[in-house]
Amino acid sequence: MSVGSPSYFDPVVLAKLQNLRIRARTVAEGFLGGLHKSPFRGQSLEFAEHREYAFGDELKHIDWKVYARTDRFFVKQFEEETNLRIQILLDASGSMGYKGDLSPLSKYDYGATAAATLAYLALHQGDSAGLSLLQSKSLFIPPRASLSHLNTLSDALVKCRPEGETHLSRSLESLPHSLPRRSLVILISDLFDDFEESINSLKLLRFKKHEVIVLHLLDRAEKDFSFSGNLRFSSMEDSEHLQLETDSYRSEYSDLIAKWIDGCRASLRKMGIQYHIHTTDEPMDRLIRSVLRAH
């Protein structure tokens, strides 16, 4: 499958974004073309700075010229030149299949378009991109830097259908073992799960020194509760139903969802995780720009 064939790659969006750079705050910082200077210290090509010798440092890194001048031991630190590794996690549970009457795309379709666009940008600047589709049986595609990898990612996005219950925490728990190297992890989800359990799983990713971005997607109807009359709501993940006089609950719903969003934002930012909330009626390039310009 090529980029020009039916898929989630939007050429209009890509044209608007082709000059932007993906820059992860703590994973890498670089320029279009694939060269990124990582803040991680290690053996590499470019000298960065000195620091005072500490017990356990390798003697071969001592700068003897500095010692001759200062009579103190300093070791050289280096900037590791590396490519950025991006793992995109797309929630593919049943609730992501929701599409309101005024929305052009379901949450899954909108999230898949975002995932494809971010992968396209990463691969075209020489970085590597991978994909995880989070369902009861999650699919993990590890990061690759080859442009042909776009075909693999696109095929997976198109073939997947959102279904089943949300198990974000369960899917996230296994991810650190699948990503042995530090990466930029982008989670795209409506976050309709036990948030405390999901937070604990995201904490593990941060503990492993991964950079994490959460793209919180909602349909406009979910965010604004733009329903009217006595309606029957059916769960997209199980057999539950709810009969509701919507006009009577609009104010209470608005308060609850505002508190929920504020709670998500505060909890994630406390852990150093970027949080962006978007609705599926927004232009796609607005979402992509919010990610790329957040650093």
* Residue 148: DSSP 8-state: T
The pLDDT of residue 194 = 81
Q: How far apart are CA 273 and CA 26, in angstroms?
A: 11
Contacts with 53 (C-beta within 8 Å, 6 or more apart), sequence order: 62, 72, 73, 74, 75
The pLDDT of residue 12 = 65
Segment-wise mean pLDDT, segments of 10 residues, the chain, 295 residues? 51 55 32 37 47 64 81 65 81 91 88 87 85 89 88 86 83 77 91 84 86 94 76 62 67 86 93 93 84 66
The pLDDT of residue 238 = 62
The pLDDT of residue 3 = 42
The pLDDT of residue 43 = 41
The pLDDT of residue 31 = 27
The pLDDT of residue 244 = 65
The pLDDT of residue 275 = 94
The pLDDT of residue 187 = 95
On whether the CB atoms of residues 123 and 267 are closer than 8 A, the answer is: no
Q: How far apart are CA 68 and CA 11, in angstroms?
A: 59
pTM for this one? 0.73
On whether the CB atoms of residues 291 and 186 are closer than 8 A, the answer is: yes
Which residue segments constitute the domains of the chain, with CATH numbers given? Answer: 11-27+83-292 (3.40.50.410), 35-82 (no CATH)
Q: Which residue has the tokens 């909108």?
A: 110
The pLDDT of residue 220 = 92
Q: What DSSP assignment string belongs to 3-37?
A: TTSSSS--HHHHHHHTT-----TTT-EEETTTEEE
Q: What share of the chain is helix, strand, coil (3-state, %, to 5)?
A: 40, 25, 35
Contacts 24+ apart (CB under 8 A), 174-178: 174/138, 175/87, 175/89, 175/132, 175/140, 175/201, 175/205, 176/204, 176/205, 176/208, 176/210, 178/132, 178/140, 178/142
Contacts with 3 (C-beta within 8 Å, 6 or more apart), sequence order: 9, 11, 120, 150, 154
